Structure 1
Amino acid sequence: MRYLLVLLIFLPSVVFSQTNQTDANGLRQGFWQKKQANGRLIYEGNFKDDKPVGEWKRYHPGGQLKALIEYKGDTAYTQFFDVWRKKLTEGNYVNQQKEGVWKIYKNNVLTADEEYKLGLKYGTSHQYYDTGEVMEEKQWVNDKEDGDYQIFYKSGEPYMQCKMKLGMRHGLFLVNYENGRQEMVAEYRNNLRHGEWKHFDREGNLLYTLYYDNGQILNPNVRDSIDNLKMIELEKNKDTILDPEEFLQDPSEYMMRNQKNR
């Protein structure tokens, strides 16, 4: 009994002596913790030869789990959480830079994913509807939009398709009705409207054509007359109709709002 009492008395100091230790060469080894002034943990995990290994945990100021990290060599699979323990993002760091596919969540539901290479967006990214269907798909090169950019209806039919070059719209630009017919056939040059912009009705009939030269409209009288007609129509149905042309720079926002109005 006396030996047990002695062990219990000295056990805290033995445990403490095994925490936050360095070896003869000054390298961190074993279990480490860091705490706030109020005693709440900031992080905890293990080192081997001054490198983090195995499972690590980081905490919010209130003490809730903020990040769960699994180290394997130079790779750290990381999950981030909000203060309610709901997952925000997950993916791999390689040499402290994002690498591969990173997933983004809202209320524990996947809302987006992005591909990275050496810490920069490189590859394909997606944004999803709340019900899981792909809403947006983009191509990236060195953190800039470059390649195909598409927005989809929930049915999977394309709503908008265009080409991107170094973060700018450049080339053919298409907008479709949900029935699959083309609403607009147009073109961008270095992010500026250029060439013929043809607008069609839901039956495929040509309504009007606008002409642009590097962002400058060449037949403004046609645009103005069409805008006036649109304003009258939108005013009649202002609570139910969104003008897609107002969202050409943010088509995903148009799709989200359009779904909510249904």
Structure 2
Amino acid sequence: MPEQTAIPFYYTVRLAPRDPAEMLHGALYDLRRAYYESGKRGRVSSHSAYNGFPCHTQGFLSRHNFKWQRRVGHQLREEAFRFEKGHALLIRNEQGALMGRIVYGPDQQWLRSAYVIPGQAEPQVILQPGPEPGTLLMLTRTGSGSFQKKTLYPAPFAPGTLVQSRINAQYGEPDVTASTSQGDFCYTSREESEKRAQLLRQITSGTVPAMPKWQGESPAPASFHASMPTNEKAYQDTSFLFDDEPAAPSQKEPVSEEKTIDEEKAAGTLPPASAESEGKEETPSDPAPEPGDSVPEPRMAEGTNETPATPEEIVTPQESASPAVTTPPSRCRVTVSARDSYLYFGEMLEGLRHGRGRTQQSNGYTAYEGTYKNGQRDGWGAYYYRSGEPCYVGSFRENKRDGIGVTFQEKEHWIHVGSWQKDAPEGVSSLFDKKGNLLYAGMIENGKKQGAGAVLKGPDGRMFVGKWKDNEPTGEGSAFDREGNLLYTGSWKNGLREGEGTSFDKKGRVVFTGLWHNDRYDTGLHLRRLEDGRESNDEMDEND
């Protein structure tokens, strides 16, 4: 990845979550990069998605002229205007209210990006080139109306790559990113920037693996029979179990620059964010589940029973009749116990976490990143263990996993892919071990395999398809080898062949048909021996 050594030409600058992800490498980036690299005027006309909505974009850029329009449907959302010393790109929300201004100089160099709260004229956050080459300066408006300054330092940034995901897992998703003539960069404090660059060097050199390193070996997963062992312990997914933290009432906003919520008076809500002073160290905001010595039952970082604070307990806007507005990205501290204190980065609404946000543990790892609604996890998000390894990625509703999602069992590293209802797996699911072997694919009810399901047996590729009850194949089912040859079809009980059934050789010829008991021949017709010999438990008594 490149490193900045001089003043770059900024193609695009993004402040998350105020700017959508498309801002970094979208149509505006394409137009400005083509102009900078060729030195010639350029045009763009495209139909694409912007912030999740289909849009039509038209733009023109030359040395002294910049024209730009972006429409979502018939609504004009972005438009460029000329002024005395350059051009300004105005960005509006779906109601037509101004959200931000991007200002370019006479040479088309980026000068600043200003972000406003809809309905207010004065910007709340301003980004502009910093005092040192390659740095950015962030100005955040305080409660007194003045701006607090903070210099942000660049670190290499490669969105969508495995390496960047590994870095973000440790230091969090950066809020400020930019695409420049020298490459892509994220911008953080000097200390964090140096740590990110150091971790990148360690990953590149192979000192630190890009993928989290699994610790220990897991016992063999459960299997089905039909010439398969019967003494293996049945796999039961427990990664969906959470140790709930108690909910508590809310606390009024403390009058201090660093907002704190005590666990005895908090309900998972946050007060309005204060500006971050430069160089100030704070501790993170949400715990992640701790790994256990046995099959882990990760607990939710923020407590699964959070109750939003009542409107009377939250500082409201000066105009009581004015509509609620979402604050710009903010940073504030949350204390949930005497042991745990965390940071929250993201949008807030009337003192509650609302919109896109991220919580960070005291060890620097991300605890949760995703969307909030009225102070609760709601929408798509990613949840992590204290070790920084992923715990759950998927859909949340009212602080509970609800919808499609993936859980990662930390100790044994099983993976559960499926649907969730009220924090429990329900419906069609697939379970895999750490080597990618399919442990189970089928229905799950109340956390157990129930109904139709299939299991693929590791390296030898044998498969069982049938009916399950309480994690065991019970009732009718069939077993196949890796080539798809039918080995057995009939009745099962507790993972063993029991009752009426028929076994086959690899050519599809019947070996035995009749009654089975405890996985052995009982009464029936034995037609032929297997070509490769019979397993000991398939041998018949001389009296049969």
TM-score calculated relative to the size of structure 1: 0.59
The answer to whether the 8 A contact 1:41-1:63 is kept is no
Shift in Å, 1:191: 6.7
- 2:313 aligns with 26
Q: Which residue of 2 aligns with 1:150?
A: 454
Alignment correspondent of 1:90: 393
Give per-residue Cα distances to partners, 1:146-196, cap 9 Å, x unaligned: 221113489xx9821011245553321211122222111231357775312
1:228-243 alignment, distance < 5 Å: 230=535
The alpha carbon displacement at 1:92 in A equals 1.6
> Paired residue for 1:71?
372
How far residue 81 of structure 1 moved from its aligned partner, in angstroms, is 3.8
Question: Per the alignment, in what secondary structure is the counterpart of residue 122 of structure 1?
Answer: strand
Aligned partner of residue 535 in structure 2, secondary structure:
helix
Distance in 1 (CA, whole Å) between partners of 2:311 and 2:373 is: 25
Instruction: Give the distance between the partners of 1:134 and 1:84, measured in 2 at CA.
Output: 26
2:416, 2:436 → 1: CA distance?
10
- Output the TM-score relative to the length of structure 2: 0.32
Q: Report the Cα offset of residue 102 of structure 1.
A: 0.8
Offset of residue 50 of structure 1:
5.2
> Of 226, 239, 257, which residue of structure 2 is paired with 1:17?
257
Moved more, 23-32 or 161-170: 23-32
Call closer, same or farther: CA 1:59–1:229 in 2, change over 3 Å.
Answer: same
Assess if the C-alpha contact under 8 Å between 2:359 and 2:368 holds in 1: yes
What secondary structure sits across from 1:25 in the alignment?
helix
Alignment-mate amino acid for residue 370 of structure 2: I
Cα 1:126–1:231 change in 2 (3 A) is same
From the superposition, tell whether residues 27 and 210 of structure 1 become closer, same or farther in structure 2 (CA, over 3 Å): farther
Evaluate the alpha carbon distance shift between residue 176 and residue 165 of structure 1 in structure 2; reply closer, same or farther with a 3 A threshold. Answer: same
Say which SS state the counterpart of residue 508 (structure 2) adopts: coil
Counterpart Cα distance in 2 of 1:212 and 1:33: 65
Q: Find the partner of 1:195 among 477, 484, 499.
A: 499
Report if aligned partners of 2:463, 2:482 keep a CA contact under 8 Å in 1: yes
Q: How much has 1:106 moved relative to structure 2?
A: 9.1
- Label 1:104 to 1:40 Cα distance change in 2 as closer, same or farther (>3 A): closer
In percent, how many aligned pairs have the same letter? 13
1:43 matches 2:343: yes
Specify the alignment match of 2:475 in structure 1. Answer: 171
Shift in alpha-carbon separation, 1:115–1:177, aligned structure 2, 3 A: same
Q: CA deviation at 1:211?
A: 2.9
- Counterparts of 1:66-145 in structure 2, within 5 Å, are 66-72=367-373, 75-81=378-384, 87-104=390-407, 111-128=415-432, 136-145=440-449
The aligned amino acid for 1:56 is: G
2:440 and 2:447 map into 1 onto residues whose CA distance is 17
2:258·2:333 contact (CA, 8 Å) conserved in 1? no
Bigger helix fraction: 1
Displacement after TM superposition at 1:65 (Å): 1.7
Q: Distance in 1 between matches of 2:335 and 2:402?
A: 30
Pairwise CA distance, 1:64: 1.8
Counterpart for residue 57 of structure 1: 358
Pairwise CA RMSD: 4.9
In the alignment, the residues of structure 2 paired with residue 186 and residue 106 of structure 1 have an alpha-carbon distance, to the nearest angstrom, of 34
Which residue of 482, 486, 493 maps to 1:182? 486
For structure 1, the residue ranges without an aligned partner over 5 or more in a row are 1-6, 221-225, 233-262
Count of residue pairs the alignment pairs up:
215
Listed as ranges, the gaps of 5+ residues in structure 2 are 1-143, 150-254, 261-270, 273-309, 317-326, 524-529, 538-544
Greater strand proportion: 1
Paired residues of 2:343 and 2:361 also in contact (CA < 8 A): no
Displacement of 1:49 in angstroms is 4.1
Q: Do the aligned residues in 1 keep the contact of 2:259 with 2:334 (CA within 8 Å)? A: no
Equivalent-residue separation in structure 2 for 1:163 and 1:26 (angstroms): 53
Q: Which amino acid aligns with 2:506?
A: R
Deviation at 1:121, TM superposition (A): 1.5
